[in-house]
């Protein structure tokens, strides 16, 4: 395999407009800890009971180990496409293609999942609308279109919105923690014993069994603390990417882990009736409404709605860059179209519109249960991808150049990677063992099968795209040839 720059004149390229905090905000907004807790706290209460919140610590430590491994790659190869690029350039383009295919579907489904949750769990209750699946789907499509307009308009605008979403989310968590603590202290309505209660799961005979209630409590952390690698998907738009991107990856998961733990501990202590809250459709809002009142609940829903909107924008942008990166190497359907970058906005417009199209098709074509199973299947994909990244790192680490001043684990890199691999294997075990995971597991296999068919088509009709690694334009050439920090738009003279 060889790496060659593309012939001919330079095409419009991505521009470096994202500063250090904005890069961090992209990863943190993707994780969106308040949104994750808001969407999964009910499942935790029903499966493991309130005591299951302590499993958050296990998930946070495990995902931090994975983030440290991911950061090792990001500190050396700062290209849009993250794991697709790392595997293609360090192992084999064929291996990288499957990384890219799985990541594309994970992100494309995740956009739909969070926007549908925004519509049904935040916007509709906030606007006083009755529960209705068709209304939620219509709102989801509108949200997708609005996000696409903003993502296409400017990467800098994306940075502003994601930064704003992070500020709002951190404010939500901080204010709620303080207010709830003050209220329960003044009213004497706190219940510390909840922290060690199994709640309505106390009589579950399979609580400690494989795939049982206790293992189910792990899902909140596993499904929330993901997406920290999204900063790497926008690496070609980051200033000083070899420092800012790996720092953002690690800092985002650590910050989310700490903030999330404080939030769920205070939230759990504030529950006055565990049984009633456990059966409520929106237990987080119920606890806030009971302790602070209807006004506090509405303010919380408004903040969550904005945080969800920002997270959806980040996921859409990351997915569009993933498509762009694969298409730039002529390995994606309609590659020449999907690799186009607007000379006016410096954003990949066709790739972004593809994500919207996928979302609209899913909203229109899939009935409720099928859509739910597809969304559940998307929670398995990041664990598979992270496992592949860790295995890749262990296989190619000796070939990675070390950049002066860049992020590095030094002599701890192998122990961290090995423990991270053990953790990912355990995470997959937790995700795949419940009976409810059978259909989502089959969906993941189906996505791999469809990918295998297209991969076979590429091998039979365009085998040459896997025989060399295209340079990808001046931005890629500059990154690969210049070890110095990149802070402005990548141009041919950057690589001189």
* Number of compact structural domains in the chain: 1
pLDDT digit string, tens, across residues 421-434: 999 999 999 999 88
Does 229 fall in a domain?
yes
With CA atoms as reference, report the closest residue to 351 among 382, 369, 327, 371: 327
pLDDT digit string, tens, across residues 157-189: 888 888 888 888 888 889 889 999 999 888 888
239 burial level (CB within 10 Å; 0-12, 13-18, 19+): middle
Q: Binning pLDDT at 50, 70 and 90, where does residue 435 land? A: confident
Q: How many helices (H) and strands (E) does the chain have?
A: 22, 2
Q: Binning pLDDT at 50, 70 and 90, where does residue 70 land? A: very high
Does 238 fall in a domain?
yes
* pLDDT for res 455: 95
For residues 75 and 448, which has the higher predicted lDDT (pLDDT)?
Answer: 448
As a whole number, the mean pLDDT across the chain is: 86
Evaluate whether 10 touches 474 at the Cβ level (below 8 Å).
yes
Q: Tell me how far apart the alpha carbons of residues 432 and 435 are, in angstroms, rounded to a whole number.
A: 8
Q: Tell me how far apart the alpha carbons of residues 287 and 191 are, in angstroms, rounded to a whole number.
A: 12
* pLDDT for res 419: 97
- Greatest alpha-carbon span in the chain: 73
Does 142 fall in a domain?
yes
* pLDDT for res 14: 66
* pLDDT for res 405: 66
Residue 143 has pLDDT above 90, yes or no: yes
Residue 488 has pLDDT above 60, yes or no: no
Residue 376 has pLDDT above 80, yes or no: yes
Out of 123-132, 230-239, 268-277, pick the least confident: 230-239
Query: Distances in Å between the alpha carbon of 329 and those of 351, 388, 423, 480, 482?
Result: 14, 21, 33, 15, 21
Does 16 fall in a domain?
no
pLDDT digit string, tens, across residues 289-313: 888 888 888 888 898 899 889 889 9
Q: Binning pLDDT at 50, 70 and 90, where does residue 12 land? A: low
* Most confident option among 357-366, 403-412, 462-471: 357-366
Residue 369 has pLDDT above 90, yes or no: no
Residue 222 has pLDDT above 60, yes or no: yes
The owner of tokens 């690799």 is 339
Residues 6 or more apart in contact with residue 405 via CB below 8 angstroms = 243
Does 90 fall in a domain?
yes
Q: Tokens representing 115?
A: 């926007």
Does 2 fall in a domain?
no
Domain coverage including residue 477: 22-490
pLDDT digit string, tens, across residues 55-67: 999 999 999 999 9
Out of 13-22, 193-202, 343-352, pick the least confident: 13-22
Out of 234-238, 453-457, 475-479, pick the least confident: 475-479
* Most confident option among 51-60, 114-123, 240-249: 51-60
* pLDDT for res 293: 87
Does 409 fall in a domain?
yes
Q: Tell me how far apart the alpha carbons of residues 419 and 423 are, in angstroms, rounded to a whole number.
A: 6
Q: For residue 70, what is the domain's CATH number?
A: 1.20.1740.10
Residue 23 has pLDDT above 80, yes or no: yes
Handedness of CA 280, 282, 283, 288 (dihedral sign): negative
Residue 181 burial (CB count, 10 A): 14
Does 282 fall in a domain?
yes
Residues 6 or more apart in contact with residue 109 via CB below 8 angstroms = 362, 374, 375, 377, 378, 381
pTM for this model (two decimals):
0.86
Residue 6 has pLDDT above 60, yes or no: no
């Amino acid at each position: 395999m060889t790496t060659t720059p593309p012939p001919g004149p330079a095409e419009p390229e991505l521009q470096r407009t994202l500063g250090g905090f904005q890069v961090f905000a992209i990863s943190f907004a993707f994780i969106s800890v308040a949104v994750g807790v808001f969407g999964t706290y009910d499942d935790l209460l029903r499966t493991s009971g309130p005591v299951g919140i302590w499993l958050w610590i296990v998930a946070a430590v495990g995902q931090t180990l994975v983030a440290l491994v991911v950061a090792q790659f990001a500190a050396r190869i700062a290209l849009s496409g993250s794991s697709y690029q790392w595997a293609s350039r360090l192992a084999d383009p064929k291996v990288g293609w499957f990384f890219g295919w799985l990541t594309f579907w994970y992100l494309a489904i995740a956009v739909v999942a969070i926007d549908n949750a925004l519509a049904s769990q935040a916007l509709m209750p906030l606007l006083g609308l009755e529960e209705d699946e068709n209304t939620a789907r219509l709102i989801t499509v509108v949200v997708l279109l609005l996000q696409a307009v903003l993502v296409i308009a400017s990467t800098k605008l994306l940075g502003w919105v994601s930064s704003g979403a992070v500020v709002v989310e951190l404010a939500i968590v901080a204010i709620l923690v303080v207010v709830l603590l003050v209220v329960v202290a003044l009213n004497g309505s706190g219940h510390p014993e909840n922290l060690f209660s199994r709640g309505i799961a106390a009589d579950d005979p399979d609580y400690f069994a494989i795939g049982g209630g206790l293992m189910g409590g792990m899902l909140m952390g596993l499904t929330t603390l993901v997406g920290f690698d999204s900063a790497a998907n926008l690496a070609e738009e980051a200033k000083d990417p070899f420092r800012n991107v790996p720092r953002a990856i690690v800092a985002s998961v650590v910050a989310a882990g700490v903030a999330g733990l404080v939030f769920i501990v205070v939230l759990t202590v504030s529950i006055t009736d565990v049984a009633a809250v456990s059966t409520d459709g929106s237990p987080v809002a119920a606890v806030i409404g009971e302790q602070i009142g209807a006004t506090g609940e509405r303010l919380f829903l408004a903040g969550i709605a904005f945080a969800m909107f920002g997270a959806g924008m980040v996921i859409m942008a990351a997915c569009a860059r993933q498509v762009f990166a694969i298409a730039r190497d002529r390995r994606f359907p309609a590659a020449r179209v999907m690799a186009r970058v607007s000379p006016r906005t410096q954003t990949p417009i066709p790739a972004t519109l593809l994500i919207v199209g996928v979302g609209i098709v899913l909203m229109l074509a899939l009935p409720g249960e099928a859509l739910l199973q597809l969304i559940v299947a998307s929670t398995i994909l990041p664990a598979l991808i992270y496992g592949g990244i860790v295995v890749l790192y262990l296989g190619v680490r000796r070939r990675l150049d070390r950049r002066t001043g860049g992020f590095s684990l030094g002599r701890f890199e192998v122990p961290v990677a090995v423990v991270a691999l053990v953790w990912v294997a355990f995470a997959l075990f937790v995700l795949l063992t419940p009976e409810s995971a059978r259909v989502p597991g089959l969906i993941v296999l189906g996505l791999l099968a469809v990918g295998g068919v297209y991969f076979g088509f590429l091998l039979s009709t365009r085998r040459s795209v896997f025989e060399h690694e295209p340079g990808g334009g001046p931005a890629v050439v500059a990154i690969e040839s210049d070890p110095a920090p990149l802070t402005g738009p990548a141009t041919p003279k950057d690589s001189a």
